[in-house]
Amino acid sequence: MTKRTFGVIGLAVMGENLALNVESRGFPIAVYNRSPNKTEKFMAERAVDKDIKAAYTVEEFVQLLERPRKILVMVKAGGPVDAVIDELKPLLEAGDMIIDGGNSLYEDTERRTKDLEATGLGFVGMGVSGGEEGALLGPSLMPGGTPTAYKELEPILTKIAAQVEDPDNPACVTFIGPGGAGHYVKMVHNGIEYGDMQLIAEAYDILKNGLGLSNEKLHEVFGQWNQTDELNSFLIEISTDIFAKKDPETGGHLIDYILDAAGQKGTGRWTVMSGLELGVPIPTIYAAVNARVMSSLKEERVAASGQLSGPGKTFSGDVEAWIPKVRDALYCSKMCSYAQGMALIAKASQEFGYDVNLPEIARIWKGGCIIRAGFLDKIKKAFKDNPQLPNLLLAPEFKQSILDRQGPWREVLMLANEMGIAVPAFSSSLDYFDSYRRAVLPQNLTQAQRDYFGAHTYERTDKPRGEFFHTEWLD
Ligand code: NBP
Angle (CA) 167 164 179, round 5°: 90
Q: Active-site residue 193, yes or no?
A: yes
Domain 186-437, CATH: 1.10.1040.10
Selecting among 16, 23, 110, 193, the annotated active-site residue is: 193
Correct CATH for 441-475 of 1.20.5.320, 3.50.50.60, 3.90.950.10, 3.30.70.3270: 1.20.5.320
Residue 125 above 70 pLDDT?
A: yes
Q: How far apart are CA 241 and CA 91, in angstroms?
A: 48
Cβ 354 vs Cβ 348: under 8 Å: yes
Write the burial class of residue 107 (CB in 10 Å: 0-12 exposed, 13-18 middle, 19+ buried).
Answer: middle
Q: Is the CB of 335 under 6 A from ligand 1?
A: no
pLDDT in tens, 353-396: 999 999 999 999 999 999 999 999 999 999 999 999 999 999 99
Q: Is 353 left (phi over 0), alpha (psi -120 to 50) or beta?
A: left
**Substitution candidate for ligand 1 out of 74, 99, 128, 132 with most atoms within 8 A of CB:** 74
Q: How far apart are CA 148 and CA 124, in angstroms?
A: 10
Comparing 6-179 with 186-437, is the CATH topology the same?
no
Q: Is the CB of 413 under 6 A from ligand 1?
A: no
**Substitution candidate for ligand 1 out of 34, 84, 132 with most atoms within 8 A of CB:** 34
Q: How far apart are CA 65 and CA 72, in angstroms?
A: 12
Provide the mean pLDDT of the chain. Answer: 97
Cα 344 to ligand 1 centroid, rounded to whole Å: 28
- Where are the domains positioned within the chain? 6-179, 186-437, 441-475
Q: For the residues 148-170, what does the mean pLDDT come to?
A: 96
Q: Is 63 left (phi over 0), alpha (psi -120 to 50) or beta?
A: alpha
Q: How far apart are CA 266 and CA 256, in angstroms?
A: 27
Q: Whose CA is nearest to atom 18 of ligand 1?
A: 80
Selecting among 53, 70, 186, 380, the annotated active-site residue is: 186
pLDDT in tens, 287-335: 999 999 999 999 999 999 999 999 989 999 999 999 999 999 999 999 9
Residue 26 above 90 pLDDT?
A: yes
pLDDT score for 176:
98
pLDDT score for 475:
77
Q: Is the CB of 35 under 6 A from ligand 1?
A: yes
Q: How many other β-carbons are positioned within 10 Å of the β-carbon of residue 240?
A: 18
Q: Which of 133, 7, 14 is nearest to 72 (CA)?
A: 7
Correct CATH for 6-179 of 3.10.20.310, 3.40.50.720, 1.20.140.10, 2.60.120.10: 3.40.50.720
pLDDT score for 199:
98
Cα 182 to ligand 1 centroid, rounded to whole Å: 18
pLDDT score for 1:
67
Residue 114 above 70 pLDDT?
A: yes
pLDDT score for 342:
98
Backbone angles phi, psi at 124, to 5 degrees: -125, 115
Q: For the residues 162-189, what does the mean pLDDT come to?
A: 97
pLDDT score for 315:
96
Q: Whose CA is nearest to atom 7 of ligand 1?
A: 75
Q: Whose CA is nearest to atom 40 of ligand 1?
A: 131
Handedness of CA 195, 207, 408, 412 (dihedral sign): negative
Cβ 153 vs Cβ 99: under 8 Å: yes
Q: For the residues 236-264, what does the mean pLDDT come to?
A: 97
Q: Whose CA is nearest to atom 41 of ligand 1?
A: 131
Handedness of CA 268, 271, 273, 276 (dihedral sign): negative
Q: Active-site residue 249, yes or no?
A: no
